[in-house]
Each structure stands twice: as C-alpha cells, then as structure tokens.
C-alpha cells in the first residue's frame, strides 16, 4: 500500500478571505500559440506549455468543496468532493476561462468553471 500523502503546509500557498473562508489557489499558465492548438488558449498548471509561443502566469482558485494538499515529493494534488485525487494538470482544461473537466463516481461529467487572476 502506498504511503498516505502528508498534509499541506498552507503557509506556502496564497489565501484570501471570502465569506469567512480561506480560498485555496495554485499557479497556472495561459499558453498561446501551442502546437496543434494555435488558435485557442491552452491552460496548464505549475509550468508553461513546452511549445507555447508565450504564456501568462495566473493564480487559479480551487473550488470551495475541493481540497488541496501537497505530496511528499512537493507536488500539489486536489481531492474532489467524491474522494478521488487528481493532479491539477490532469483536470485543468479550457479556452477562454479555466475549468476542471472531471468524471465522478457515477460516471457523470462535470465542467467546473474556475476563477483566476493574472499575476
């Protein structure tokens, strides 16, 4: 059985209060001119796309009912409300705005629009 991920050190992540709750964020990029997707934006987490002509750095908010933690290797992981763990790059998609593109336990597709801010 693999070891359980350690709890996240929240001091490394930026938060702001919204309605009395801390809002979790991770770093993402809006990539332009990506090969095979030249006419649309490609969203990536943690690093710009390797074939992007240029990229804008953004902070992407994790939805209220999702959890964020850090693995022993220092990678950010997300836990969905139905208990599945994902890396941000696995579920991050979008063109004009970012969203999580996921499938739940029952096989239902979810497209969860995310808030972001350019930094």
Residues of the chain whose pLDDT is less than 50? 4-18, 20
**CA 8 to each of CA 13, 75, 86, 87, 116: distance values in angstroms, whole numbers, following the listed order:** 9, 10, 15, 14, 21
Q: Cα 16 from chain centroid? A: 17
Specify the pLDDT at position 106: 95
For the stretch 43-57, pLDDT in tens is: 999 999 999 999 999
Phi and psi, residue 76, nearest 5°: -85, 135
Domain ranges of the chain: 10-118
- The rounded mean pLDDT for the chain is 85
For the stretch 9-25, pLDDT in tens is: 444 444 444 454 556 99
- Report the alpha-carbon distance of residue 101 to residue 97 in Å, rounded: 12
- pTM, two decimals, is 0.78
Write out the two tokens for 42: 């490609």
Phi and psi, residue 54, nearest 5°: -155, 165
**CA 55 to each of CA 36, 48, 119: distance values in angstroms, whole numbers, following the listed order:** 16, 6, 12
Write out the two tokens for 100: 């999580």
């Amino acid at each position: 059985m693999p070891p359980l991920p350690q709890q996240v050190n929240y001091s490394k992540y930026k938060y702001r209060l919204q309605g009395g709750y801390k809002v979790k964020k991770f770093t993402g990029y809006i990539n332009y001119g990506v090969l095979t997707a030249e006419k649309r934006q490609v969203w990536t987490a943690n690093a710009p796309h390797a074939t992007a002509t240029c990229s804008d750095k953004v902070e992407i908010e994790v939805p209220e009912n999702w959890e964020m933690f850090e693995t022993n290797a220092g990678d950010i992981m997300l836990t969905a409300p139905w208990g599945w763990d994902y890396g941000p790059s696995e579920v991050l998609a979008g063109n004009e705005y970012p969203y999580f593109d996921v499938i739940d336990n029952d096989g239902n597709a979810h497209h969860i629009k995310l808030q972001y801010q350019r930094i």
